[in-house]
């Protein structure tokens, strides 16, 4: 999974779940770290709103998500704006290289599934 500092909220939670499920490496740079949720934003007379953090992510392991830190990558690859402006994405290229390597070292195994029901 590709992650970077622009990943926040669900972009923080999803990589965290992805890692815990053991689905593969996280590649890129640390996510933003803003996961505290906002709800019930009262409107102001001028049409603006007031937002207040109201809930936080608590995981099945009994720990709070590290708010303000985000999710660290397994393979760190810093973004390079100069390369991106020329159409070269070094994070994506690293992810492709890693996937090619994993396809050789850990080939796909089709999971078994229970027989279909007879109705």
pLDDT by residue (tens digit) across 38-94? 777 888 999 998 888 777 777 778 888 777 888 999 999 998 889 999 999 999 999
Complete domains list, the chain, with CATH: 2-39+49-105 (3.90.226.10)
- The reported pTM is 0.75
Read off the pLDDT of residues 12-40 as tens digits, 9 standing for 90 and up.
Answer: 889 998 999 999 999 999 998 887 777 77
Instruction: Let me know: does 65 contact 33? Beta carbons within 8 Å.
Output: no
């Amino acid at each position: 999974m590709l992650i970077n500092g622009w990943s926040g909220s669900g972009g923080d939670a999803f990589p965290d779940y992805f890692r815990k499920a053991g689905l593969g490496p996280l590649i890129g740079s640390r996510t933003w770290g803003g996961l505290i949720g906002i709800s019930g934003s009262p409107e102001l007379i001028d049409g603006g709103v007031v937002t207040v953090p109201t809930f936080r992510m608590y995981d099945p392991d009994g720990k709070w998500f590290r708010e303000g830190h985000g999710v660290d990558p397994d393979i760190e690859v810093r973004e390079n704006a100069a390369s991106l402006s020329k159409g070269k994405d070094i994070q994506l290229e690293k992810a492709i290289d890693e996937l090619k390597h994993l396809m050789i070292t850990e080939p796909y195994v089709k999971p078994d599934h229970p027989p279909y029901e007879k109705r």
